[in-house]
A and B are shown apart, each in its own frame.
Chain A
Amino acid sequence: MPKIKSLEELMKIKEDAIKDLKLRQSGKRGKVIVAMGTCGIAAGAKETLKAIVDAINEFGVDDIAVVQSGCMGLCDVEPTVEVSLMDEEPVIYGNVTPEQARRIVEKHLKNGEIVADLVVKRGEV
């Protein structure tokens, strides 16, 4: 760790640290909910969850919380992922493999486009 000499260097550390802190607090742009019921986990939700977390890091999306939930009743299309952004109807995606999870993060979370081919349902479950 080189010694800090300027405000800019300190700011850099703050920005990195804020990413960690932000995820902890509520009051974000929205959240991604990965269904982690028995059915979801059996269908590979753990890998999906990990892929989402990795992709979020990779694309620098820092204002989205990743949350796990239980089974939302769509067991046949597990793993399911719900993207719920502020002032937007929640979107539920089904059959989300790690590859598709990456697409969701890049397209929906980063660029704001819904990944139409994976959508199972719009609106509250």
Chain B
Amino acid sequence: MAAVATNTILICAGGACISAGEESVKDAFKDELKKFALDTVVSVVETGCMGACNLGPLAVVYPEGVFYQKLTPDAARKIVREHILKGRVVEEYLYKGPEGEIKPQAQEELPFFTKQVKIATRNLGVIDPTDIDEYIGRDGYFALVKAVKEMTPEQVIEEIKASGLRGRGGAGFPTGLKWELGRKSKGDTKYIVCNADEGDPGAFMDRAILEGDPHTVIEGMVIGAYAIGASQGYIYVRAEYPLAIERLNIAIEKAREYGFLGKNILGSDFCFDIELRIGAGAFVCGEETALMASIEGERGQPRVKPPYPVQSGLWGKPTVINNVETFANIPPIILKGAKWFASIGTETSKGTKVFALAGKIRNTGLVEVPMGITLRELIFEIGGGIPGNKKFKAVQTGGPSGGCIPAEYLDTPVDYESLKELGTIMGSGGMVVMDEDDCMVDVAKFFLEFTVDESCGKCTPCREGTRVMLDILEKITNGEGTKEDLEKLKQLGEFISNSSLCGLGQTAPNPVLSTMRYFWDEYLAHVEEKRCPAKKCKALIRFVIDHDKCVGCTACAKVCPVNAITGEVRKPHTINDDECIRCGSCIEVCRFNAISKVSP
């Protein structure tokens, strides 16, 4: 073994931190350590997503566990000179709380970290994802040994059934039951597939797991293959996740080398191997029948179910398809037992769920929480609430297949059933938070635009219906909508839900239907009063200058791209409404708060 490192600098190499400049920070750390001849005793380890993506690039310096945020190459050099060399914590890059209080061990002090229960993401930010030994050091592959050496496939299935684990991809089908159906399905060849075609806008938990702990997914798949009797596995991962692909490839190769994949796994008769299949990033390929078509080399389009994949899947053989996060939960369940897992969560939803927090929320990033936690705890305690003293308006769960939940339901426990009752779904775990400045008609339009783009075009309700719905929404946000349009929108939504071929179409109207359910007044205001209460829809708002406040500094007139603002120096200015394009640049530059948006 190499010399034991004295300090370790763990750098978050999740996608968000990488785009925030992690690589240059890492290089700066390494260069500076070399300068002081410390490169052999201080190791710099790139690890998976630590979750606090809005604070990136992140690094934690061990053994003290000091949590540094928003790093730059200069900051890295300073940390080497001050912290590593002289033992002085560099305060300016520590996490600071809302009142400016400094938190050196943020991971042990902040509710963002302490309120989480990590099962699927247990190794994220802790191990080097490219080092299989570190995974083994954290009990990796012990569950596989236990399953293959001490348990029959039936016992493995019983254990997963007893744990109450349900599919984390969105629909929440009991995993143990799916495996049992797979086991009982007749066929000489069976397949197991990992669905890593994560495509919801704002959801990135699967990517984080694949990038930060690829071995847990592989181990979960091998255990699943053992349980159902599969000989070949596929991980269907989208091409937009190059880092996940790179780390998966390394992990698969290492797992083969160690004998966890391939022929006679752990010296037994059990043979199983995994191949990657790279998807081209079509949202519909996350639908399991379309995903299988894509793996087979066909065009990624869904087909009618039944037959279900467990009966007739890839190349007509029984196929079990599970999501990334589902597989990541398998090894801990086998190792610690179904009872332990079932003790976490609610009556019908066991264990934890990983959520990607996005939108108008202070701590954007990745969190894993026990099922049954309330939305209020999740958004306000862990997520840190809404920035800029704005009011919470709604949260969208389940991405374009889900719906929104308004403020009055903030105390709802998060589990599959309660979310369904509210007209939305758990989905893969994306949570987009909206504040008072967001127009719900506009939000519905955004998600519908996405599904219209992603509709594969095979069935008419989805291909034509969603397009017509979007046209109506555009009409409404342009101030040309009528009450009949609202009725038509509702009818059409219900019709598309009932008659589309696959999940994409069946759920596409959800954002529209749920915003209509909770924010009917807002739709009415658009249609009857031609008013946008959130002052977001451009056709329904005007910009005006308050002549009492305007001092005539000319800043707005200078910035206006269409020269719509006129007025003499030191005299109140005026916006010519016919020329104004509602870009909002003038509001941003006005230092006297003299410009405001009005909707009639």
CB interface residues, A 3-37, toward B, < 8 Å: 3-7, 10, 13-14, 16-21, 23-26, 28, 31, 33, 36-37
Q: How far is the CA of A68 from the CA of B141 in the complex (A)?
A: 35
B549 within 8 A of A: no
Bound Cα distance A96, B258 (Å):
43
Among A6, A21, A66, the one with the most B-chain Cβ atoms within 10 Å of its Cβ is A21
Residue of A nearest to B137 (CB): A17
B85 touching A70 by the CB < 8 A rule? yes
Which residues does B use to contact A, with CB under 8 Å? 1, 3-8, 10, 37, 40-41, 45, 62-65, 84-88, 126-127, 133-134, 136-139, 141-142, 145, 149, 257-260, 266-267
Q: Please pick, from B3, B137, B145, B259, the residue contacting A7 in the complex, using a CB distance under 8 A.
A: B145
CB of A21 within 8 A of CB of B87, answer: no
Evaluate contact between A66 and B258: CB separation under 8 angstroms. Answer: no
A92 on the interface (CB 8 Å rule)? no
Contact of A37 with B86 at beta-carbon distance under 8 Å, contacts A5-B267, A67-B6 already known: yes
Rounded to whole angstroms, the CA-CA distance of A7 and B256 in the bound complex is 17
- Name the segment of A51-59, A73-81, A108-116, A117-125 touching the other chain: A51-59
State the CA gap A13–B258 with chains docked (Å). Answer: 11
| In the complex, A107 has a CB within 8 A of chain B | no
Q: A24-B62, A33-B87 are in contact. List 16 more A-B contacts (CB 8 A).
A: A4-B141, A4-B260, A5-B267, A6-B145, A6-B267, A7-B142, A13-B137, A17-B134, A17-B138, A21-B127, A24-B8, A26-B65, A37-B86, A57-B3, A57-B4, A67-B63
Could you say which of B1, B45, B141 contacts A16, with CB atoms under 8 Å apart?
B1
Q: Which residues on the A side are within 8 Å of B37 (C-beta)?
A: 46
* Across-interface contacts of B64 in A (CB, < 8 A): 26, 67
Q: Are A16 and B3 in contact (CB under 8 A)?
A: no
Q: How far is the CA of A50 from the CA of B260 in the complex (A)?
A: 37
Contact partners of A3 in chain B: CB under 8 A: 257-259, 267
Going nearest first, the 7 A-B pairs with the smallest beta carbon separation are: A17-B137, A3-B259, A70-B86, A69-B87, A5-B267, A66-B6, A65-B63
Q: In the complex, what's the smallest C-beta–C-beta distance from B219 to chain A, in angstroms?
A: 12
Which A residue's beta carbon lies closest to that of B139? A14
CA distance A22 to B212 in the complex (A): 19
Question: A72 to chain B: closest CB distance in Å?
Answer: 9
CA A3 to CA B260, docked complex, whole Å = 8
Residue on A with the closest CB to B262? A3
Contact, CB under 8 Å: B6 / A49: yes
Taking the closest CB of chain B, its distance from the CB of A69, in whole angstroms, is 3
Which residues on the A side are within 8 Å of B141 (C-beta)? 4, 10
Instruction: Report whether A70 and B88 are in contact in the complex, using a CB–CB cutoff of 8 Å.
Output: yes
Q: Once the chains bind, are B145 and A10 in contact (CB under 8 Å)?
A: yes
Chain A residues within an 8 Å CB radius of B134: 17, 20-21
A65 CA / B84 CA spacing, docked (Å): 13
Question: With A and B bound together, what is the CA distance between A56 and B5 in angstroms?
Answer: 11
Inter-chain contact A53/B41, CB cutoff 8 Å: yes
Question: Which residues of the other chain, A, contact B142 by a CB distance below 8 angstroms?
Answer: 7, 10, 14
* Residue in contact with B4 in the complex, picked from A7, A26, A56, A67, CB distance below 8 Å: A56
- Give the docked Cα–Cα distance between A1 and B8 (Å): 26
Q: How far is the CA of A19 from the CA of B65 in the complex (A)?
A: 17
Give the Cβ gap from A116 to chain B, nearest Cβ, in Å: 26
Chain B residues within 8 Å of A6, by CB: 145, 266-267
Would A36 and B267 count as touching, CB distance under 8 A?
no
Is the pair B41, A5 in contact by a Cβ cutoff of 8 Å? Answer: no
Min CB distance A40 to B, Å, is: 10
Report yes or no: A57 in contact with B63, Cβ–Cβ below 8 A: no
Which chain A residues border B145 with CB–CB below 8 Å? 6-7, 10
Nearest chain A CB to B204's CB is how many angstroms away? 26
Q: Which residue of A lies closest to B149 (CB)?
A: A7
What chain A residues lie within 8 Å of B86 (beta carbons)? 36-37, 68-71
- Which A-chain residue is minimally distant from B259 (CB atoms)? A3
The closest CB in chain B to the CB of A34 belongs to B6
